[in-house]
Amino acid sequence: MLQQTTVPHALPYFEKFMALWPTVRDLAAAPDERVMAEWAGLGYYSRARNLLKCARVVVSEHGGVFPADEVALLMLPSFGPYTAAAVMSFAFGKAANVVDGNIERIMSRLYAVKTPMPAAKPVLRELAGRWVRDDRARDWPQALMDLASAVCRPKSPLCMLCPLREACAGFAEGNPDIYPLKTARAPKPVRYGVAFLIVSEDSFIVERRPDKGLLGGMLGLPHLDWRDEVWSEDEIVTPLSPSPDASHHPLPQGEGRWVSVGTYDHVFTHFALKQQVWQLELSAQEVSAFLRQHNQYQLLPWADKKALPTVFGKALRLV
DNA sequence: CAACCGTGGAT
DNA sequence: TATCCAAGGTT
């Protein structure tokens, strides 16, 4: 959960997961949809799919016990260099080269590394490796990470409080905050979409998204493709009324009952989305008929709206 | 190796 | 509003 996610954001999810599935065996036995629903809002949903895969591999191939071996850990889904080293250190108390963003930042400043990220990563890993020690194998990486978080901060580092100040080449240079150096990144493109909120009584229509790619395995609202140009009203109205394209965007024929309810913004890692929302209220009978024709859709009670990723939860807030 | 993959808080 | 960034991994 902590991979690229802040502790305050992850903490309530961690508590809930541990209450629902206290052991790796419990998690391995959980239904996929339930795990994905509990992960909703945390982002990077491949982590949830891989976490579940991992639990099942640990049960089927390791007797339900995580191996205390870094190479074996690395073979598990969702385990990369950081997580394998972190588990070796924090869980098993064995010395390991734990290198996260915090420790990368400390090393880049301590040695004033001129190579920009991400090319500097192997360099920073090697530098961090020089500090690995066998005693207090749990405390040492934790201490470095906490030092980075509290003192050697990304912005406005508190160098006057830092125990490494006299050894720090970045401090000696006068501007340790410029490290780690990074290359300019391309601006985020803006894309445009149209989502459809089809409501009946206490529920609305959702679909299970494909297992791979963006929001893979999550529930979502039916929507038109996210593309580089704005959707015109003509283009939107077409799939809402009888047309040859109706099979591609199978939506209920609203007969003028579709209502535009507004637009919202959402920012993903590599693009920003401006999404229109259209709403249609159907009778229970209409919904039943529609769902019979199109089995890719299902009804989700309003009470379960938290199972949606945020990008679609925002559409509900709009209403 | 670069691109992909969410979200929300801080500044 | 714009930018940065967080206990990275997978493809």
Judge whether residue A244 has pLDDT over 50. no
Task: Give the confidence band of A238 by pLDDT, cuts at 50, 70, 90.
Answer: low
CB A2 within 8 A of CB A10: yes
Q: Which of residues 26-85 of A touch strand C (CB under 7 A)?
A: 44, 46, 50, 77-84
Structure confidence at residue A253 (pLDDT): 78
Structure confidence at residue A306 (pLDDT): 98
Domain A79-185 has CATH 3.40.50.1100: no
Q: What is the mean predicted confidence (pLDDT) over A249-270?
A: 88
Closest CA to A278 of A190, A198, A192: A198
Does strand B come within 7 Å of the CB of A78? no
Judge whether residue A246 has pLDDT over 70. no
Structure confidence at residue A248 (pLDDT): 61
Tokens at A296, concatenated: 């890719």
Amino acid at residue number A248: H
Give me the phi and psi of A74, to 5 degrees please.
-60, -25
Per-position b or e across A101-117, b if 16+ CB within 10 A of its CB: ebbbbbbbbbbbbeeeb
CB A272 within 8 A of CB A190: yes
Q: Which of residues 280-319 of A touch strand B (CB under 7 A)?
A: 309-311
Q: What is the CATH number of domain A190-318?
A: 3.90.79.10
Query: Which nucleotide is closest to A3, CA to C1'?
Result: C8
Does strand B come within 7 Å of the CB of A270? yes
Q: Note the strand B nucleotides within 7 A of protein beta carbons.
A: 1-9, 11
Structure confidence at residue A82 (pLDDT): 98
Query: Which nucleotide is closest to A9, CA to C1'?
Result: B8
Distance A68 CA to C1 C1' (A): 48
DSSP β-bridge partners for residue A223: A195
Does strand C come within 7 Å of the CB of A101? yes
- Cβ neighbourhood burial of A8 (10 Å; 0-12, 13-18, 19+): exposed
Contacts 24+ apart (CB under 8 A), A181-190: A181/A108, A181/A113, A181/A114, A181/A115, A181/A116, A181/A117, A181/A120, A182/A116, A182/A117, A183/A116, A183/A117, A188/A267, A188/A270, A188/A271, A188/A272, A189/A228, A189/A271, A189/A272, A190/A228, A190/A271, A190/A272, A190/A273, A190/A274
Q: What is the mean predicted confidence (pLDDT) over A157-167?
A: 97
Does strand B come within 7 Å of the CB of A43? yes
Q: A1-65: what fold?
A: Endonuclease III; domain 1 (1.10.340)
Task: Give the confidence band of A234 by pLDDT, cuts at 50, 70, 90.
Answer: confident
Judge whether residue A209 has pLDDT over 50. yes
Query: Which nucleotide is closest to A2, CA to C1'?
Result: C7
Give me the phi and psi of A187, to 5 degrees please.
-65, 155
Structure confidence at residue A242 (pLDDT): 56
pLDDT digits (tens, 9 = 90+) for A264-293: 999 999 999 999 999 999 999 999 999 999
Assign residue A9 a region: left if phi > 0, alpha if psi is -120 to 50, beta otherwise?
alpha
Judge whether residue A305 has pLDDT over 60. yes
Structure confidence at residue A184 (pLDDT): 84
pLDDT digits (tens, 9 = 90+) for A189-205: 999 999 999 999 999 99
Q: What is the mean predicted confidence (pLDDT) over A8-28?
A: 98
Structure confidence at residue A186 (pLDDT): 84
Structure confidence at residue A255 (pLDDT): 72
Domain residue spans of chain A: 1-65, 79-185, 190-318
Judge whether residue A63 has pLDDT over 70. yes
Q: Cα angle vertex A157, ends A156, A160, to 5°?
A: 120
